[in-house]
Amino acid sequence: MTSTPFDPAPANWQRRLPGLITRQVRINVPLDHRNPDDERRLEVFARLVSAPDGQDRPYLLFLQGGPGCESPRPSLAPQVPGWLARALQDFRLVLLDQRGTGLSSPVSEPIGAAEDQAEYLSHMRADEIVADCEDLRVHLGIDQWAVLGQSFGGFTLLHYLSMHPESLLASYFTGGLPAVGRGCEDIYEACYRALAVKSEQFYRRFPQDRERMRRLLTLADEEAIRTPNGDVVSPSRLRSLGHGLGGSAGAARLHYLLERDPGSRGFRYDLADALPFGGRNPLYTVIHESSYADGVATRWAAARTLPDEFRTDPTLLTGEHVFPEWFDEDSSLRPWKACAYAIAEQNWPKLYDPDALAQTQVPCAAAIYANDAYVPMEYSLQTAALIPRMRTWVTSEYEHDGSIASGGAVLGRLIALAADDIAR
């Protein structure tokens, strides 16, 4: 289930990129931090980044969205991630490849029995990621660091705040304040409502695209829509193109895809690139629902809660909703089918402790996007109310990717909010 990452550079080797000094770090961690008798180990990779004149600044750990996506590879020309330059004004940065991703013993192909695969992947959630963060912090000799959590990274940060507030200088959430104590059904129902609104907004902006989508859905129902490798794209998978509507440039990208001839080579390749769930990051699909599971089993919650209006109007698009039939349709996901079904029945432990959150004195700031397609605003505000030193900024100016799209403006505002430098 894992592969050994290849890296020709020795650990702690320092390299210079234009305007940046970077150093890579690898540590060995338990697969199961809760079980000292489990001898299985993983390697975790992180990249330390600083400005040339910033090597005495405090550290900011970045927790990437996902689950199952590695941290961005830093660059100032072009700037990646979009908030990098702003972060380096105040901090040295720690870019962690969360376990199972990137250069951290990545999950690649399933090996062995499905139940063994599912047990292994059960250790890829926020709780174990936070334990890795603590091991890394100690390894680096850092007493406290600030943490920035984007989307799923914010979910992970909230667990961090529940378990180890003493390690945190400040907590910054961007589109990542999860519901606490809610069932997956509540969350998915709210996300469907958001996608229905975004679908209608999209069709009002591009009126001709509703009929184009309807024709594509008819072709998909006839198994006439295929990716370049020959996989059939079903109507439910085609509708997942709505995932892009949750980002700042997603509507334009979808429009340009729909204007292509569905029989063309360009359409097939662009479609494959736009479909959000696939084999490149299998964790993102296989354990996706578990990221919402605060003490419950998910049992294909997104499929179970599909609203009647989505059943009667197939042009309404879906977002971060995984459907079990995709594990039959997509050849890159097919090897994970039995594991995914086992994961769906997994009874997950609770991730968040409301009592601990109510006691924490860590300065916190959260950007809550009013029209967020993936993290419902109403539940984010309820969670924010649990945390005494949480300051929130509710905005409709940005979509879920506002931290990147804003070029650092969102992060800058959160840093100021947490420091009480500006009014609410």
pLDDT digits (tens, 9 = 90+) for 145-190: 999 999 999 999 999 999 999 999 999 999 999 999 988 999 999 9
pLDDT at site 116: 93
Are both 49 and 91 inside the same structural domain? yes
Are both 320 and 358 inside the same structural domain? no
* Strand ranges inside 143-276, DSSP E: 145-150, 168-174
pLDDT at site 22: 95
pLDDT at site 109: 81
Are β-strands 92-97 and 168-174 bridged in parallel, bridged antiparallel, or unpaired?
unpaired
Give dist(CA 376, CA 190) in Å, integer.
6
Are both 166 and 294 inside the same structural domain? no
pLDDT at site 36: 86
pLDDT at site 189: 96
Number of domains in the chain: 2
Other C-beta atoms within 10 Å of 236: how many? 20
Boundary residue ending a domain (344, 366, 384): 344
Q: Is the pLDDT of residue 23 over 80?
A: yes
Q: What is the mean pLDDT of the chain?
A: 93
Query: Higher model confidence: residue 422 or residue 133?
Result: 133
Q: What is the DSSP letter of 71?
A: P
Give dist(CA 164, CA 4) in Å, integer.
30
pLDDT at site 55: 87
Tokens at 86, concatenated: 């702003």
Q: Is the pLDDT of residue 9 over 80?
A: no
Residues β-bridged to residue 60: 93, 146
Boundary residue ending a domain (344, 360, 386): 344
Are both 400 and 340 inside the same structural domain? no
Which amino acid appears at position 67 of this protein? P
Are both 104 and 170 inside the same structural domain? yes
Are both 60 and 34 inside the same structural domain? yes
CATH number for 368 = 3.40.50.1820
In a domain, 380, yes or no: yes
Per the CB < 8 A criterion, the answer to whether 145 and 167 are in contact is yes
- 121 CB-near residues (< 8 Å, 6+ apart): 1, 100, 107, 283, 286, 287, 339, 343
Q: Is the pLDDT of residue 6 over 80?
A: no
Q: Is the pLDDT of residue 3 over 70?
A: no
Are both 168 and 248 inside the same structural domain? no
Are both 163 and 194 inside the same structural domain? no
Are both 127 and 233 inside the same structural domain? no
In a domain, 1, yes or no: no
Measured CA to CA in angstroms, residue 248 lies from 97, 147, 287, 364, 393 at distances of 25, 24, 25, 25, 18
Measured CA to CA in angstroms, residue 30 lies from 99, 105, 134, 263 at distances of 11, 12, 12, 49
For the stretch 26-76, pLDDT in tens is: 999 999 999 989 999 999 999 999 999 988 999 999 999 999 999 999 999
In a domain, 3, yes or no: no
Peptide bond into 165 cis (omega under 30): no
Per the CB < 8 A criterion, the answer to whether 326 and 277 are in contact is yes
Predicted TM-score (pTM) of the model is: 0.94
In a domain, 365, yes or no: yes
Which amino acid appears at position 136 of this protein? L
Give dist(CA 359, CA 354) in Å, integer.
9
Q: What is the DSSP letter of 87?
A: H
In a domain, 9, yes or no: no
In a domain, 403, yes or no: yes
In a domain, 6, yes or no: no
Which amino acid appears at position 132 of this protein? D
Per the CB < 8 A criterion, the answer to whether 326 and 278 are in contact is no
- 4 pLDDT band, cuts 50/70/90, is very low
Average pLDDT for 103-109: 90
Radius of gyration of the chain from its Cα atoms, rounded to whole angstroms: 21
Boundary residue ending a domain (288, 316, 344): 344
Per the CB < 8 A criterion, the answer to whether 157 and 173 are in contact is yes
Are both 64 and 86 inside the same structural domain? yes
Strand arrangement, sheet containing 41-50: 14-17, 20-30, 41-50, 92-97, 59-63, 145-150, 168-174, 364-369, 390-395
Give dist(CA 58, CA 137) in Å, integer.
12
pLDDT at site 377: 96
Are both 164 and 33 inside the same structural domain? yes
Give dist(CA 410, CA 412) in Å, integer.
5
Q: Is the pLDDT of residue 144 over 60?
A: yes
In a domain, 375, yes or no: yes
Question: Containing domain of residue 158, as a range?
Answer: 14-180+350-418
Give dist(CA 143, CA 268) in Å, integer.
51
CA 49 to the chain's CA centroid: 21
Are both 358 and 338 inside the same structural domain? no
